[in-house]
């Protein structure tokens, strides 16, 4: 015997509103259920949209930061290459030995260790590429040697301090007056990490008192935390646009003097570029890269609402002026 | 709404791709810069 025809086992869970409204009086079953459902879905949509917008803003900000860093890096690279060209021109015989030695010494280092300062800046950004993870690793295997480098920074005439902003934290531990220079020489030690051996001497140039000559001894064994802040505030550019002093300081180790002022030139010898594993400068000089930078700037500007408003105001003002002059 | 959402997603993808490209370029620049600095050292 079949019971199915007698007993209805279905639960009738169909939420058809018309069905509901036909069963129950309209006042008691509000259509609020449906409205609520719609409202909930719209809220979800709004949340998703706002999350998307937020993510877009974050990525755009990161993009802008990267562009700035890249610009600074290009400037520094060009300045360094220019200095190398000058050095090659002045000392044509010396570089071959030093090149071989340095390449022999540096070859075992992994590319991760070679990417130094900027990597630490990139550690602040939140993108999750695999190479960035590797870049966050500190330079642990960095060997410290008595490397001496000199940087010259032009300051304002009113500035009498001996402060060279290079992105590191320094503790002043002494000052003395030397015979050859009327301005005092200040001694600093890197205070970021207790084990960091880097020392810095700062003194005004004899020839031009507006130039501060900073001489660095050793290499930092820690990341430069405040470099990013400097890059964003343009302090690096200040350093990069300074004039080279010609003060000669006696030292036992090899001395590097950075000429960061003159505009970049192509290397005098094409093989030199190949030796340094270049290609980067060629990328920078390519129209493609230039176009890319232009596009970046254009997109940054067009995204800025205040810039749009200013542009619109300028154009409309111009048009009004033209109309008035025609009348 | 769907169109706006898809436009947002598209823009996000574009900016992310640009970001990746910039990161790569920056990495290359860093490598070159360090190679040059090592050469000078």
Angle at which helix A287-303 crosses helix A305-326, to 10 degrees, equals 80
Interface test with B, best of A48, A56, A143 (most B CBs within 10 A): A56
Q: What is the mean pLDDT of chain A?
A: 63
The ipTM of this complex is 0.89
Residues of chain A with pLDDT > 70, as a percent, come to: 44
Token match 């060279």: residue?
A164
Q: Are the Cβ atoms of A115 and B34 closer than 8 angstroms?
A: yes
Token match 């320094």: residue?
A170
Interface test with A, best of B6, B14, B22 (most A CBs within 10 A): B22
Confidence of residue A300 (pLDDT cuts 50, 70, 90): low
Q: Are the Cβ atoms of B18 and A147 closer than 8 angstroms?
A: no
Give the full edge-to-edge strand order of the sheet including A199-204.
Answer: A170-176, A185-190, A199-204, A211-217, A148-154, A255-257
Is A314 in the B-facing interface, judged by CB distances under 8 Å? Answer: no
Q: Looking at residue A93, what is its pLDDT? A: 64
The minimum CA-CA distance between B7 and chain A, rounded to whole Å, is 10
Q: Are the Cβ atoms of B31 and A111 closer than 8 angstroms?
A: yes
**A27-70, pLDDT tens digit by residue?**
445 566 667 776 777 787 788 888 888 999 999 999 999 999 98
Q: Are the Cβ atoms of A81 and B36 closer than 8 angstroms?
A: yes
A1-22 as b/e, with b when 16 or more CB fall inside 10 Å? Answer: eeeeeeeeeeeeeeeeeeeeee
**A8-17, pLDDT tens digit by residue?**
444 444 444 4
By CA distance, what is B24's nearest residue in A? Answer: A131
The minimum CA-CA distance between B37 and chain A, rounded to whole Å, is 8
Q: Flag whether pLDDT at A262 surpasses 80.
A: no
């Amino acid at each position: 015997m079949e019971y199915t025809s007698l007993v209805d086992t279905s639960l009738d869970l169909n939420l058809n509103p018309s069905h509901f409204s036909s069963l129950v009086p309209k006042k008691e079953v509000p259509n609020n259920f449906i409205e609520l459902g719609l409202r909930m879905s719209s809220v979800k949509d709004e949340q998703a949209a706002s999350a998307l917008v937020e993510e877009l803003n974050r990525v755009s900000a990161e993009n802008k930061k990267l562009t700035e860093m890249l610009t600074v890096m290009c400037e520094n690279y060009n300045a360094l290459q220019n200095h190398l060209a000058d050095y090659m021109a002045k000392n044509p015989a010396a570089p071959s030995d030093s090149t071989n030695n340095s390449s022999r010494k540096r070859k075992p280092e992994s590319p991760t260790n070679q990417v130094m300062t900027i990597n630490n800046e990139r550690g602040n950004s939140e993108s999750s590429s695999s190479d960035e993870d590797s870049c966050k690793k500190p330079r642990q295997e960095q060997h410290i040697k008595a490397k001496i480098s000199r940087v010259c920074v032009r300051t304002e005439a009113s500035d009498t301090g001996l402060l060279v902003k290079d992105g590191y934290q320094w503790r002043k531990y002494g000052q003395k007056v030397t015979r050859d220079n009327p301005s005092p020489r200040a001694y600093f030690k890197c205070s970021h990490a207790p084990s960091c051996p880097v020392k810095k001497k700062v003194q005004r140039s004899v020839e031009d008192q507006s130039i501060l000559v900073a001489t660095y001894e050793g290499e930092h064994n820690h990341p430069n935390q405040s470099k990013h802040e400097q890059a964003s505030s343009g302090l690096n550019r200040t350093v990069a646009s300074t004039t080279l002093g010609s003060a000669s300081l006696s030292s036992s180790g090899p001395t590097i003097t950075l000429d960061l002022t003159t505009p970049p030139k192509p290397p005098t010898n094409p093989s030199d570029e190949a030796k340094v594993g270049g290609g980067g400068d060629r990328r920078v000089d390519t129209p493609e890269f230039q176009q890319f930078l232009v596009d970046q700037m254009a997109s940054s500007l067009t995204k800025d609402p205040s810039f749009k408003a200013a542009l619109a105001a300028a154009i409309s003002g111009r048009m009004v002026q033209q109309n008035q002059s025609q009348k | 709404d769907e169109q706006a959402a898809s436009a947002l997603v598209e823009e996000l993808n574009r900016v992310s791709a640009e970001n990746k490209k910039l990161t790569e370029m920056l990495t290359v620049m860093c490598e070159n810069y360090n190679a040059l600095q090592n050469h000078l050292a």
